[in-house]
Amino acid sequence: MKMTRWVAACALTLSTTFAFAASSQAETVLQLGHPTASASHYGVAAATLGDELAKRSNGKFKVVSTPNGAEREMIESAQIGTLDLVVTSTGPVGNFVPEVAIVDIPFLFKDYQHARAVLDGPIGQDMLKLFPAKGIEALAWGENGFRHITNSKRPINTPADAKGLKVRTMENQVHMTAFRQLGVLPTPMAFTEVFTALQQGTVDGQENPIPVITSSKFAQVQKYLTMTGHVYSPAMILMAKSTYDGLSADEQKMFHEAAAVAAKAMREKVASVEANGVAELRAAGMEVITDVDRTKFQEALEPAYAEYSKKFGKDKIDQIRNYAP
């Protein structure tokens, strides 16, 4: 039902912007979708991209953003050309470009610096080149953040505490493998359904970065937050290849440059929310477990690595893990 509302919102903005575009011949209106609230890091990326494109094109390009979209469906829309731009996590991206799911492996990146260096370096940039074959132009890597587990049942201090919980995961095979390994019952669903699922108790918990937990007001429906930081969650700024192919070479360059600025603003927003988000969640009533032995979680996931190695190649995983710019 949420998705229906999202499509309706899109259609509404579409009709108003068409009316507006008619009065200004030079303007090209581009529809952008992103998964969370407008005030979130995704909203910041969307707004920055819009500002940069308007500025760089002297007002030729106007981006109209619609928040709260389902990521997999938005990527599908970009693929068939009914949505021009998408800012998304990599959650469902592996369903479109399987090689990219390697970045979703738990405990792969040491910290933010490491993740950003890999994605901005040759490994990440080569992955962007795999998208056009799937009908999508990948403009830049953005950021969602390190993911942490929340739930409504009990404080999770060790991997054993998580056993038996029903946890919503993204529609992502790499993540589902990991949660199964922990003894958790992974329940994949679109992010648009998560708040209601938590509220109604369809699932006990979910996992997301602090900027998603705060902007989606999960403190209203979740009591416990454990700072597992079990996986880094990249974001991406994607574009319909059909829209991209309609641009001149100079304009294409402009879109890549504007997306790079938007990605930087997104990362800065993630960092600023991380700086005070936990205090905010405590103030909203959550019990936060910060003193987590992450090595224990990493060890519990060890058997899943055999599957990841088979899927992606151990050499490729090690190349990311040991990457130094």
Residues in touch with ligand EAX (CB under 6 A) = 35-36, 71, 89, 91, 144, 170, 191, 208, 212, 233
200 vs 295, beta carbon nearer ligand EAX: 200
d(CA 218, CA 115) in angstroms, rounded, equals: 26
- For residues 149 and 225, is the Cβ–Cβ distance under 8 A? yes
Q: For the CB of residue 88, give the shortest distance to ligand EAX in the complex, in Å.
A: 6
Q: For the CB of residue 172, give the shortest distance to ligand EAX in the complex, in Å.
A: 9
45 vs 53, beta carbon nearer ligand EAX: 45
- For residues 135 and 245, is the Cβ–Cβ distance under 8 A? no
124 vs 254, beta carbon nearer ligand EAX: 124
d(CA 321, CA 325) in angstroms, rounded, equals: 12
78 vs 254, beta carbon nearer ligand EAX: 78
How many alpha carbons lie under 13 Å from residue 58 in its C-beta half-sphere? 1
Nearest to 224 by CA among 313, 155, 306, 174: 155
Q: For the CB of residue 34, give the shortest distance to ligand EAX in the complex, in Å.
A: 8
d(CA 234, CA 112) in angstroms, rounded, equals: 10
Q: For the CB of residue 3, give the shortest distance to ligand EAX in the complex, in Å.
A: 13
Q: For the CB of residue 240, give the shortest distance to ligand EAX in the complex, in Å.
A: 19
Q: For the CB of residue 143, give the shortest distance to ligand EAX in the complex, in Å.
A: 10
- Calculate the alpha carbon distances from 223 to 137, 154, 158, 178, 287 in Å: 40, 8, 17, 23, 6
d(CA 70, CA 194) in angstroms, rounded, equals: 11
Q: For the CB of residue 321, give the shortest distance to ligand EAX in the complex, in Å.
A: 22
Q: For the CB of residue 233, give the shortest distance to ligand EAX in the complex, in Å.
A: 6
Phi, psi values for residue 130, rounded to 5°: -80, -15
141 vs 191, beta carbon nearer ligand EAX: 191
102 vs 254, beta carbon nearer ligand EAX: 102
203 vs 254, beta carbon nearer ligand EAX: 203
- How far out from the chain centre does Cα 285 lie? 26
- For residues 212 and 145, is the Cβ–Cβ distance under 8 A? yes
71 vs 204, beta carbon nearer ligand EAX: 71
Question: Which ranges of the chain would DSSP assign to H, the alpha helix?
Answer: 2-23, 41-56, 71-80, 112-120, 122-128, 159-162, 173-181, 194-200, 210-215, 241-245, 249-283, 294-300, 304-312, 314-321
